[in-house]
A = this chain, B = another copy of it.
Amino acid sequence: MHGYTTDKDDYLKRLRRIEGQVRGIARMVDEDVYCIDVLTQIAAVTKALQAVSIGLVEDHLGHCVVDAARRDPDEGQAKVKEAADAIARLVRS
């Protein structure tokens, strides 16, 4: 049971849509669509993936991190550090 479990169906729906968008980009490349239009579509998929990430971060902070901090301060700090590292990977990606 994780932070995102309550919104699981919504996340699954968004990820299926993103999967379809990536398949669409492959089709664009296969049909020699103009480079700039392919790039625009990739930027849209990247944004959609980032939106999923930000939602997961919010759910994670609001459940796993906050629950750990309420149970035990040290466990809370460990979860905060772990979340900050994940956010750093997100910001740099």
A contacts, CB < 8 Å to B = 1-5, 8, 11-12, 15-16, 18-19, 22-23, 25-26, 29-30, 32-36, 38-40, 42-47, 49-50, 52-54, 56-62, 64-66, 69-70, 76-77, 80-84, 86-93
**Are B61 and A53 in touch, CB under 8 angstroms?**
no
Chain A interface, >50% SS class: helix
**Residue from the list B5, B15, B56 in contact with A22, Cβ < 8 A:** B15
**Are A57 and B84 in touch, CB under 8 angstroms?**
yes
A-B contact pairs, 9 of them (CB 8 A): A2-B33, A4-B38, A19-B26, A39-B60, A43-B93, A62-B77, A62-B80, A66-B80, A92-B92
